[in-house]
Amino acid sequence: MYESIPAGTKRGILFLVALCIVFMQAGLWAGRRATQDSFPDNAIAPKQKILSLVRKDPKAGVKEHPIPKLMAEAENRYRKLLSSRSKTLAQAVAEYKRRYRRDPPQGFDEWWKFVQDNSVLMVDEYDAVTEDLAPFWDISPTEFRLRATLAGHLPSVDLVKVRDGEAKAVNVKDGYDNTYSVSARAKGFLSMIEKFQTKLPNMDFPVNAMAEGRILVPWEHRRYPNLTEGSVAAQLSGQYSPDWQGEGNVWEAYRRTCDPGSPARRLFSSTRASSTNQVRLSQLTAHSDELSFAVDVQGNYSFCQNPWAHYNQGHFFSDWRTIPVLFPVFSPAKAAGYLDIRIPSHYYYSQTRRYTYGWDPVNLELRPVDHMETPWERKDDKIFWRGASTGGGSSPPGFAGQYQRHRLVRMASDTSSTNRTILFADPPGSSNYVYAEVPTSALNREMMDIAFVKVVDSFNFPGGIAALLRDHRFDEGGVNLGDHWKHKYLVDVDGMGYSGRFFSFLESDSAVLKATVYREFFEEWIEPWLHYIPLSPSYQEIYNIHAFFSGATQSTLFAANSTTLQISPAKRRPVDGDRRLRRIARAGKQWKRTVARRVDMEAYVYRLCLEYARLWADDRDSMNFTL
CB of 399 closer than 8 Å to CB of 33: yes
Closest CA to 434 of 544, 283, 286: 544
What is the rounded distance in angstroms from the CA atom of residue 330 to the CA atom of residue 413? Answer: 38
- Distance, first Cα to last Cα, the chain: 39
- Amino acid identity of residue 263, one-letter, is P
Positive or negative torsion for Cα 452, 454, 456, 458: positive
pLDDT score recorded for residue 157: 94
pLDDT score recorded for residue 51: 47
| More confident call, 22 vs 224 | 224
| More confident call, 564 vs 337 | 337
What is the rounded distance in angstroms from the CA atom of residue 117 to the CA atom of residue 123? Answer: 12
Percentage, residues of the chain above pLDDT 90: 65
What is the rounded distance in angstroms from the CA atom of residue 77 to the CA atom of residue 97? Answer: 23
Q: Give helix then strand counts, H and E, for the chain.
A: 21, 18
What is the rounded distance in angstroms from the CA atom of residue 85 to the CA atom of residue 82? Answer: 6
pTM for this one? 0.88
CA separation, residue 405 to residues 39, 249, 328, 330, 499 (Å): 16, 20, 31, 26, 12
What is the rounded distance in angstroms from the CA atom of residue 80 to the CA atom of residue 481? Answer: 34
pLDDT score recorded for residue 224: 80
H/E element holding 412? helix 404-412
What is the rounded distance in angstroms from the CA atom of residue 65 to the CA atom of residue 537? Answer: 22
In sequence order, the 6+-apart residues with CB closer than 8 A to the CB of 199 are: 107, 110, 165
β-pairing, 365-366 vs 433-439, is unpaired
The per-residue b/e assignment along 585-621, b for 16 or more CB within 10 angstroms, e otherwise, is: bebbbebbeebbbbebbbbbbbbbbbbbbbbbbeebe
pLDDT score recorded for residue 289: 35
Instruction: Give the architecture (CATH level 2) of 379-595.
Output: 3-Layer(aba) Sandwich (3.40)
Q: Which of 81-85, 147-151, 349-353 has the highest mean pLDDT?
A: 81-85
What is the rounded distance in angstroms from the CA atom of residue 412 to the CA atom of residue 220? Answer: 43
| More confident call, 55 vs 155 | 155
| More confident call, 483 vs 61 | 483
Burial of 41 (0-12, 13-18, 19+ CB in 10 A): middle
pLDDT over 90 (residue 141): yes
pLDDT score recorded for residue 564: 83
pLDDT score recorded for residue 362: 87
- Per-domain residue ranges of the chain: 379-595
Q: 47 φ, ψ to 5°?
A: -110, 125
What is the rounded distance in angstroms from the CA atom of residue 87 to the CA atom of residue 112? Answer: 10
pLDDT in tens, 72-127: 999 999 999 999 999 999 999 999 999 999 999 999 999 999 999 999 999 999 99
Q: At what angle do helices 108-117 and 89-100 cross, to 10 degrees?
A: 120
Rounding to the nearest 10 degrees, give the CA dihedral for residues 327, 153, 611, 166. Answer: 180
Q: Which of 63-77, 272-286, 419-433 has the highest mean pLDDT?
A: 63-77
pLDDT in tens, 269-289: 444 433 333 323 222 333 343
CA separation, residue 409 to residues 220, 468, 493, 566 (Å): 40, 11, 11, 33
pLDDT over 60 (residue 615): yes
CB of 451 closer than 8 Å to CB of 473: yes
- Amino acid identity of residue 247, one-letter, is E
Closest CA to 154 of 209, 204, 202: 209
pLDDT in tens, 188-221: 999 999 999 999 999 999 999 999 999 999 999 8
In sequence order, the 6+-apart residues with CB closer than 8 A to the CB of 508 are: 357, 370, 373, 484, 485, 490, 585, 589
What is the rounded distance in angstroms from the CA atom of residue 47 to the CA atom of residue 517? Answer: 10
What is the rounded distance in angstroms from the CA atom of residue 284 to the CA atom of residue 290? Answer: 7
CB of 208 closer than 8 Å to CB of 339: no
